[in-house]
Amino acid sequence: MNRINKKLQEDNKLLSIYFTAGYPKLNDTAKIIENLEKNGVDMIEIGLPFSDPLADGPTIQASSTKALKNGMTTEVLFDQLKDVRKTVSIPLIIMGYFNPMLQYGVEAFCKKCAEVGIDGLIIPDLPVDVYNEHYKSIFEKHGIINVFLITPQTSEERIRFIDSISKGFIYMVSSASVTGSSSGFGDVQTDYFKRIHQMELNNPQVIGFGISDHKSFSQATQYAKGAIIGSAFVKHLTTEGTDTIDRFINKIVKP
């Protein structure tokens, strides 16, 4: 069974952390992953940096630009990950835009993911229908789970469709926004969380975008299986470096 599915069967609420590979320093990737697992994080999204990250706000944009400047490439990332499964057992997902994967070759990319122990991919700009028609069989052949997004604007019919082709979890984007807005969750969001919760989908949901502290983490996991923190963690890396990851995680999980 894929590590993602196994993890989702556990009882607890899930904390997932995103960071941009190659940031703050090129070779921080493995260290950050190990550190996150040691501090009780349940799942990790490794950002493959892209020059034009359309769905990201300033924080992740800046980290991507820096990571690319540091010399991060698809090849370098796979090389950094080649021994990761010797020490890390939680699910690992690569989140990135489609063009770098297309240039690497989608089949080669999936194969390499399976080799180094990546369990899933999140590709915001690979549309569901294109995936279904052209890439589904490749992903399945290599046992890679593709995670799809829904937003507050996604119609019920489309949510049901996305649920029907999802194999791991559904990534619920918390609000109509790019990553990194952290104004907290009001009634609009909680109504949306409730609405999705009541749909009783086949796949568990994990909420992301705009989660930055204990309060927003708790609000999200009240209705969903888990929550993903991205920009807030990247900001922490920017200001505090990689030595105090424990402090960041503790502040999220403990009131």
Question: Which residues are annotated as catalytic?
Answer: 45, 56
Q: Which of 23, 98, 135, 248 binds other proteins (CB under 8 A)?
A: 98
Of 32-40, 150-158, 194-202, 212-220, the window that binds other proteins (rule: CB under 8 A) is 150-158
Residue 21 sits at the vertex; the CA angle it makes with 97 and 219, to the nearest 5 degrees, is: 80
150 binds other proteins (CB under 8 A): yes
Query: Please, which residue, 105 or 241, has the CB nearer to other proteins?
Result: 105
CB 217 within 8 A of CB 211: yes
231 binds other proteins (CB under 8 A): no
Strand partners, 227: 15, 207
Q: Which of 12, 58, 140, 164 binds other proteins (CB under 8 A)?
A: 58
Q: Which of 2, 35, 39, 65 binds other proteins (CB under 8 A)?
A: 65
Q: Which of 173, 207, 227, 245 binds other proteins (CB under 8 A)?
A: 173
Q: What whole-number distance in Å separates Cα of residue 99 and Cα of residue 102?
A: 5
What tokens does 142 get? 């290599």
Query: Which x/- pattern, by CB under 8 A, does the window 176-215 give for other proteins?
Result: xxx--x----------------------------------
Buried b (16+ CB within 10 A) or exposed e, 202-219: ebbbbbbbbbbeeebbbb
Query: Please, which residue, 127 or 186, has the CB nearer to other proteins?
Result: 127
Query: Please, which residue, 116 or 178, has the CB nearer to other proteins?
Result: 178
Strands of 21-163, DSSP E: 43-48, 92-96, 120-122, 145-150
102 binds other proteins (CB under 8 A): yes
101 binds other proteins (CB under 8 A): yes
Q: Which of 26, 68, 114, 253 binds other proteins (CB under 8 A)?
A: 68
CA nearest 113: which of 136, 134, 83, 144? 144
Q: What whole-number distance in Å separates Cα of residue 2 and Cα of residue 231?
A: 27
Query: Please, which residue, 52 or 115, has the CB nearer to other proteins?
Result: 52
- Residue 239: CB atoms within 10 Å: 7
For residue 99, the minimal CB distance to other proteins (Å) is 4
The number of helices, as runs of H, and strands, as runs of E, in the chain is 13, 8
54 binds other proteins (CB under 8 A): yes
**Window 70-89: residues binding other proteins (CB under 8 A):** 73-75
Q: What whole-number distance in Å separates Cα of residue 105 and Cα of residue 245?
A: 34
What's the sign of the alpha-carbon dihedral 5, 2, 154, 207? positive
Contact residues for other proteins, defined by CB under 8 A: 50-55, 57-58, 61-62, 65, 68, 73-75, 97-104, 124-128, 130, 148-151, 153-155, 158, 173, 176-178, 181
